[in-house]
Amino acid sequence: MVTSSRDGSPADAPKPEDDLDQAGITGWFDTHCHLQDEQRPLEVLQRARAAGVSSMVCVGTDELSSRRALELVRSSGDGALWATVGLHPHEATRGARVVEGLLSELACSPGGLVEAKAVAVGECGLDYHYDHSPREEQREAFAAQVELAARYGLTLVVHTRNAWEDTLGILAEARLPERVIFHCFTGGEPEARRCLDLGAWLSFSGIVTFKSAGEVAQAAAFCPEERLLLETDSPFLAPVPHRGQRNEPALLPWIGAAVAKLRGQAPQELACHSAASAMAAFGLR
């Protein structure tokens, strides 16, 4: 999550297929979007489907947005939509108790976490770029959510910005959850190696399409196939040529096309492999 001012009305929606010569590729998996915060989530979902994006994970950033994600997944009845429950570092002052409360509520409900399609704890982590919460409270809320993901056997979705040492330090100290995803990966090859050494997955966003992508692009080219994921982080971080517009899952093929080019891979092949990696990363297969 970053910040955005546009309202997401249809007139505002980018036309995903505009001169993307990969129309017709299917099976893309958007591992990180904030669909539940859209004004017309079902319309956005339809556009994603039309663009070949078959699976999405709706990511919570606090209690309300996590509940909205769970409700959208439930009410849409969509088989390829999942939700996460978490507290973003920007909201760390609220404390991770809200996440613990929601997880235990879901775990006690009929059908539990599986029925609720809650697949991960997060997004959570450290953001020393914006520092919207005191760093000590960010570290506490992150460590508590790492523990919750391990306790409930869920995937951990990590947001880290300008905080590699503390992020990796907290993970090194903790009981590591079975599956860890570094979302919106912004490191280079050295950070990629350290994350991969933890057994984690790296998820690449629209940043990889920016001219300034440099080391992130290197990491995307270097990342082992079975550890590589794709995401929009929508409505934020729209990829080139839609940069500055409101992002949405339907634009994921632009990110996929850029990563495929960096890896010298056919886009359809990347769509299939990254979707299979996503199913493994969320413990769905």
Between 37 and 123, whose beta carbon lies closer to Zn ion?
A: 123
String of contacts with Zn ion for each residue 105-144, x by CB under 5 A = ------------------x---------------------
Nearest approach, Cβ of residue 158 and Zn ion (Å): 9
Is there binding between residue 33 and Zn ion (CB under 5 A)? no
Q: What is the DSSP string of 175-223?
A: ---S-EEE-S----HHHHHHHHHTT-EEEE-GGGGSGGGHHHHHHHHHS
Phi, psi of 10 (to 5 degrees): -50, -40
Stretch that binds Zn ion, among 72-80, 94-102, 151-159, 271-279 (CB under 5 A): 151-159
Between 249 and 267, whose beta carbon lies closer to Zn ion?
A: 249
Count of other CB atoms within 10 angstroms of residue 3: 9
Count of other CB atoms within 10 angstroms of residue 184: 26
Contact criterion met (CB below 8 Å) for 88 and 66: no
For residues 46-75, which are near Zn ion according to CB under 5 A?
none
Residue with nearest beta carbon to Zn ion: 159
Phi, psi of 47 (to 5 degrees): -65, -40
Question: What's the CA gap between 105 and 42, in Å, rounded?
Answer: 26
For residues 193-232, which are near Zn ion according to CB under 5 A?
none
Is there binding between residue 1 and Zn ion (CB under 5 A)? yes
Single out the residue of 159, 227, 242, 246 in contact with Zn ion (rule: CB under 5 A): 159
Q: Which residues of 36-54 are buried (b: 16+ CB within 10 A; e: fewer)?
A: bbbeebeebbebbbebbbb
Stretch that binds Zn ion, among 111-119, 156-164, 208-216, 239-247 (CB under 5 A): 156-164
Nearest approach, Cβ of residue 125 and Zn ion (Å): 8
Sites of contact with Zn ion (CB under 5 A): 1, 123, 159
